[in-house]
């Protein structure tokens, strides 16, 4: 048999055990002799990544539970491999579906780390792309573009955002099809060195899978990202502020709760991403407010406080049908 039509350099033919040696020479031997779940988790520190995921990310209970299930499967697979019970490397490609700003990219990054720690990918980096990174404008441009991206992603995770844009049935000779064919081959033949995560809206992804059964059959794990509830969004906001050394001043939290309540009902609400954007604008307003008093000595409290007025100046409180501002 000839080798795969599309073999992307950078991928090694080496078995997973060698991969682990490269990843962490000191613990690889111990990992190979691990016989307990605890030993695998301790030696790979994959447990620590999962704990961080639980701690750092607000809400997302069903997603966190799915990630733990997948991790459990991988750890058990490692133990099976150690006893010579696994013949082939498992399929690890995934789909992350949910609305914008629900944490898909953030969780994908953590997933890449978990896969790396457990020795399923050599490097554990994440390459995030959309259709434009894979598909060319002219004949002959798509294959080199797609292969270049795959080469970059080898040894890690290729995250394809809004994956359904690859497939444009209305356009008979769409170059997306060429990218799809290359991806499908590599997902099959080089799955021991590359994990692909397809991300996007749930309904469009479903239609995409229906038209592209090759993709569906290569995806082992489907993870659903629910929209955040208002309480989660408030927690996310406070966490984001804290990370940047800001906090809500008197009345500002209540104002932000009101802001969320209004914003949630407006179009184009993008969950945690909208929260991040709203806080960016509040920071701008805070800066302008402080800027307008050039002679006042600014204390640490002045510089870290987002005031109620910084929140209430948002257009969300004014014009009934504006969005984002």
Q: Which residues sit at the interface with Mg ion, rule CB under 5 A?
A: 105
Helices marked H in 190-322 — which ranges? 202-211, 213-218, 230-243, 252-264, 271-291, 300-304, 308-312
> Nearest approach, Cβ of 25 to ligand ATP (angstroms)?
33
Q: In the set 20, 49, 236, 260, which binds ligand ATP (CB under 6 A)?
A: 236
In terms of Cα–Cα distance, which of 51, 44, 199, 62 is closest to 124? 44
Answer with the entry of Mg ion, ligand ATP, none that 58 interacts with (C-beta below 5 to 8 A by kind): ligand ATP
Residues 103 and 228: their CA atoms lie apart, in Å, by 10
* Residue among 276, 281, 283, 285 that touches ligand ATP (CB under 6 A): 276
**Cβ of 247: how many Cβ atoms within 10 Å?**
14
Biggest distance spanned by C-alpha atoms of the chain:
79
* 129 touches ligand ATP (CB under 6 A): no
Whichever of 75 and 278 has its CB closer to Mg ion, that residue is: 278
47 binds, among ligand ATP, Mg ion, none (CB under 5 to 8 A by kind): none
Per-residue binding string, ligand ATP, 1-20, x by CB under 6 A, is --------------------
Report d(CA 133, CA 105) in Å as an integer: 17
Candidate residues 12, 105, 130, 266; the one interacting with ligand ATP per rule CB under 6 A:
105
**Per rule CB under 6 A, is residue 53 in the interface with ligand ATP?**
no
**Residue 265: phi, psi to the nearest 5?**
-90, 0
Binding site residues, ligand ATP, CB under 6 A: 57-60, 100-106, 161, 236, 239, 270, 272-273, 276
């Amino acid at each position: 048999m000839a080798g795969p039509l599309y073999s992307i350099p950078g991928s090694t033919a080496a078995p997973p055990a060698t991969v682990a040696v490269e990843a962490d020479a000191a613990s690889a031997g111990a990992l190979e002799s691990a016989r307990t779940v605890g030993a695998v988790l301790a030696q790979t520190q994959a447990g620590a990544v999962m704990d961080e995921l639980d701690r750092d990310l607000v809400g997302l209970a069903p997603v966190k539970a799915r990630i733990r299930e997948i991790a459990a499967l991988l750890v058990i697979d490692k133990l099976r491999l150690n006893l010579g019970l696994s013949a082939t490397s498992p399929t690890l490609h995934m789909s992350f579906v949910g609305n914008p700003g629900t944490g898909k990219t953030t969780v994908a990054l953590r997933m890449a780390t978990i896969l790396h720690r457990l020795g399923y990918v050599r490097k554990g980096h994440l390459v995030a792309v959309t259709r434009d990174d894979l598909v060319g404008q002219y004949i002959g441009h798509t294959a080199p573009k797609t292969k270049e991206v795959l080469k970059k992603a080898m040894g890690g995770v290729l995250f394809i955002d809004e994956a359904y844009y690859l497939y444009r049935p209305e356009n008979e000779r769409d170059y997306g099809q060429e990218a799809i064919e290359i991806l499908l081959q590599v997902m099959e033949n080089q799955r021991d060195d590359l994990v692909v995560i397809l991300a996007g809206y749930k309904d469009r992804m479903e239609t995409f899978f229906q038209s592209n059964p090759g993709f569906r059959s290569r995806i082992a794990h489907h993870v659903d990202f629910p929209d955040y509830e208002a309480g989660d969004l408030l927690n996310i906001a406070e966490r984001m502020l804290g990370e940047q050394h800001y906090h809500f001043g008197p009345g500002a939290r209540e104002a932000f709760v009101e802001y969320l309540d209004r914003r949630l009902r407006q179009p184009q609400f993008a969950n945690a991403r909208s929260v991040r954007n709203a806080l960016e604008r509040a920071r701008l307003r805070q800066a302008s407010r402080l800027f307008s008093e050039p002679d006042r000595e600014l204390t640490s409290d002045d510089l870290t406080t987002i005031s109620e007025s910084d929140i209430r100046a948002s257009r969300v409180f004014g014009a009934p049908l504006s969005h984002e501002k």
